[in-house]
Amino acid sequence: MSRIHAFANPQRFLRLAAFVLPWSAAATAILTAAGLYLALFASPPDYQQGEAVRIMYVHVPAAWMALFIYVVMAAASAAGLIWRHPLADLAAQAASPVGASFTFLALVTGSLWGKPMWGTWWVWDARLTSVLVLFFLYLGHIALSRAFDDPTRGSRAAAVLALVGFVNIPIIHFSVVWWNTLHQPSSVFRMSGPTVAPSMLAPLFVMALGFTFYFVTLLLLRVRTEIAARKLRVLRLGELRGGVGAGSLVPGT
């Protein structure tokens, strides 16, 4: 726990972000470019789906990221509520728009993939409906965090929503097991091993890594920007109150 609180100091976090950002940005560019090349040119077409299977290399990693980012957001929300970690709420608020974007991308690419495979753009099955609920949870988190004049109240309301909405994550994951859906059961993370051919599995994981580093890069950038914005607000508030310093209101500055 002491290691977690060590990064409660914004200046320490900013130094860490300055070190990590160039590496995460470079990893994003390299892995995404490699993943797209492998997905579009090096991997074979599917014997049933043909070239349409290439949508998988964006759809599946985007769906993984939609779930992963919500877990990160819920964990940060818990840290903000329980331990009053000063950067946890910033991390949750920075993550939610990125998670919403990945969820929207998963829904759109899923529809594009579903049309040639299922003959329809959309069906109200358990997997699709629960992912749509996830998208609305992200939007609700974004709206709640900005709905109050007091940022603390907004952060707490959004954190409660994130924790309550976490119940949707196992529903999404197990929906193909619990209910009869058009989606097939997991073909990658299986106790008996993946059923996807290695020539298709490699670009899938490379794209997933590229998306992960993209999220890390955006998260660090957004938190850094929000720290700067809050410092600016505190300075302006200090001027209005007659010279209250920013250091007295922003921990660790």
Looking at the DSSP bridge assignments, the partners of residue 118 are: none
Q: Are residues 77 and 163 in contact, defined by beta-carbon separation less than 8 angstroms?
A: yes
Q: Are residues 85 and 4 in contact, defined by beta-carbon separation less than 8 angstroms?
A: yes
Closest listed residue to residue 72, CA positions, set 98, 35, 47, 52: 98
> What pLDDT, on a 0 to 100 scale, did the predictor assign at position 231?
77
Q: For the chain, which ranges sit under pLDDT 70?
A: 1-8, 179-180, 182-196, 242-253
pLDDT tens for 9-36 read 778 888 999 999 999 999 999 999 999 9
> What pLDDT, on a 0 to 100 scale, did the predictor assign at position 178?
72
> What pLDDT, on a 0 to 100 scale, did the predictor assign at position 251?
46
